[in-house]
Structure 1
Amino acid sequence: MSGNVDPSRTDFHALQTLVTVHRHNSIRAAADALGLSQSSVSYTIDRLRESFGDPLFVRLGRNIEPTDRCNAVVKGAEALLRDFEALTISDSFDPSTATDRLVFSCNFYERATFLPAIMRHINAEAPNVRLTVVQANSDGHRQLEDGMCDVVVAPMLSHPSGFHFRRLITERYACFVSRNSPFATHGITLDDYARARHVVVRPSIGWRPGFTEVLDRLGVPLEASLELPSFADIDRIIADTNLVLTATDGVARIFPDLAVIPAPFHREFPVEMSWAGRTHNTPAHRWFRDLIARIAADLKPGLQQ
């Protein structure tokens, strides 16, 4: 290995690859995050090993660990990448002529709630702006760290340092039933709820809805008669059955054919917007975040108080 770095063999793409491998301690995970093949990522790391005269990563059991030299290089690379990105930022933004590509991370509820209005505004105000929507699951902050998205809209379980947050709406849980269900007319008590047949949406194995914490404290079991991986077609599934869906009251805006009734317990939570410091002052991203905030401000409660 050479001890002298050849700048002509070290580009920004290679440095971003190095930073991503360092963050994940995994070639495979970095490849997934970057949308590249593992062989491409491995080739780039091999080139950097030659350039920096250091193995950069060493195998420790089934994992890889960075060398001290790698940690130092990554620290400098992160600063260099931030500085270069700042150079590419225009001081002005005209949505009517902009051609920016924005990446919006969210899950089903936020996508169904915000995306139709977002696209109407983009169509009218910024027709050449391109929008990519990715699934957040519970990885929104990691996606921001890896540069895989620009904005995350979701209920935030934590507020890690280095990110910006803005509360958009406060939601509360409600129950959704068929319009010909007795619950649609008479409501649902806690005893009714404990005996009811429930449909539960679990986007990933082991995931628990936030309201189950309240049920645990109340000593009310939640026995799912049906588990689904998403909300797709759930209104048609519930129609003409006695199934009960517990979800944020805003789901009423998405599935108006379902009857929405107050849940027999109280649980509120905020839906927030989050973004990384690297795009905090970028005019295009400020415009996009302001657009999302304006849409949120116009939303009506799904369940009238």
Structure 2
Amino acid sequence: MDISHDDLEFFLALWETRSITQAARDLNLTMPTASRRMARLRELFGDPCFVRSHKGLLPTDFTIANVGEIIQLHRQLLELTQRKTFEPSELKRVIRIAIPDNAMPFLLPNVVKAITDQAPLCSIAFLHSSHNSFEDLQKGYIDFLINPKSLVPRGSHFMPLHAFDQVILVRKTHPLVEIYRQKGTVNPEDLKHYERILVNDSYAATQNNDIYLSNYDRYFMTDNVQRTRIVVPYFIGAQYFLENTDLTLSLPKETAEKIAGRNPYLTTIPSPLAKSGAIVPCLFWHERTHHDPAMQWIRAQFKAYAQTEEGAREARQDNF
């Protein structure tokens, strides 16, 4: 028996909703039709695929093991049907993008506007990036990843978007602020007296064994200069640990200035460890979608509305 686009679409609706009722509603199916499609899936795969529980449908081991390949197959079928007739106004799919929280206000507003204006049927789902994101990209769970430049996994492509400088965020009454006022600079020896907050989900999960860490992360994950007291996955949330402590936080200049402009308790000082343009966020995607017309169009929106002159310069250096 041949598997169809409708079969795959129903399978993935069950995977996302864990409810045959909700899957039927999302796909505008009657319940008898949904039940027939459930039976067809079980016959096709020779497995129950989903079993009922008091919490809803639970995926079987077969489903968990194969959902990545089924997602890829579904997208390949979509690509075949869209390749010759692609029009942004007809694009009807969810674009899943994993990002760090501080990328949203600086890199994405104009991109989102361009996509929603030109592709009104398209939805965008943002997920928090983590140490699993490259694996999720490879498996097809996400379409794009925004992450600092790192060792690029096999089968992935990337586009540099910007090059951030870094500064230190501290409370306004922090001793380092007075040192900076008096000397006009802060040196690494000054920093050693104050512990820091590290924003790094990969560090929290895998310590120093993650091959996907950026060069920035690889340097700052060590305790040679400052002892790490707190590791958090969020830039924006980390500020609240600074307001009444002597902790410090190194982060991109634009993010730090945005936070300090809205938080009356915090300020920024130059980082003695900073290298100009040390943090290079990139848009990553997998080879699987490299020639997909819809994904090519999405990437074009990032290039037009999120890539800065600094990012374009990085791209030229990488021969992108």
TM range (shorter): 0.5 to 0.7
Q: Confirm whether residue 265 of structure 1 aligns to residue 261 of structure 2.
A: no
Name the SS of the counterpart of 1:137 in structure 2: coil
- Cα distance in structure 1, aligned partners of 2:221 and 2:239: 27
Q: Confirm whether residue 147 of structure 1 aligns to residue 131 of structure 2.
A: no
- Cα distance in structure 1, aligned partners of 2:254 and 2:310: 8
Cα deviations across residues 142-192 of structure 1 (Å, max 9, x unaligned)? 222222221111124322222222222233432122345325634321011
Residue 40 of structure 1 aligns with which residue? none
- The letter for the 2-side match of 1:188 is V
Counterparts of 1:24-43 in structure 2, within 5 Å, are 35=16
Deviation at 1:195?
0.6
- The letter for the 1-side match of 2:267 is A
CA change 1:46–1:158 in 2 (3 A) is farther
- The letter for the 1-side match of 2:235 is F
Residue 249 of structure 1 aligns with which residue? 253
Tell me if structure 2 keeps the 8 A contact 1:109–1:251. Answer: yes
TM norm structure 1: 0.64
Cα deviations across residues 47-74 of structure 1 (Å, max 9, x unaligned)? 56649xxxxxxxxxxxx99xxxx9xxx9
Residue 27 of structure 2 aligns with which residue? none
Q: Confirm whether residue 220 of structure 1 aligns to residue 216 of structure 2.
A: no
Q: Which structure 2 residue ranges, 5 or more long, are not aligned? A: 19-38, 48-60, 208-212, 312-320
TM norm structure 2: 0.61
Residue 102 of structure 1 aligns with which residue? 95
The counterpart of 1:115, out of the listed 86, 91, 108, is 108
CA change 1:241–1:299 in 2 (3 A) is farther
Name the SS of the counterpart of 1:88 in structure 2: helix
The counterpart of 2:154, out of the listed 161, 164, 171, is 161
Counterparts of 1:7-26 in structure 2, within 5 Å, are 7=2, 10=3
CA change 1:49–1:117 in 2 (3 A) is closer
Residue 238 of structure 1 aligns with which residue? 242
- The letter for the 2-side match of 1:200 is L
Residue 191 of structure 1 aligns with which residue? 189
Residue 274 of structure 1 aligns with which residue? 284
Q: Which structure 1 residue ranges, 5 or more long, are not aligned? A: 1-5, 21-30, 38-42, 52-63
- Cα distance in structure 2, aligned partners of 1:216 and 1:126: 41
Name the SS of the counterpart of 2:146 in structure 1: strand
Name the SS of the counterpart of 2:201 in structure 1: coil
Identify the range of structure 1 (120-129 vs 154-163) with the bigger mean alpha-carbon deviation. Answer: 120-129
Identify the range of structure 1 (164-173 vs 88-97) with the bigger mean alpha-carbon deviation. Answer: 88-97
- More helix by percentage: 2
Q: How many residues align?
A: 260
Residue 23 of structure 1 aligns with which residue? none
Identify the range of structure 1 (182-191 vs 235-244) with the bigger mean alpha-carbon deviation. Answer: 235-244
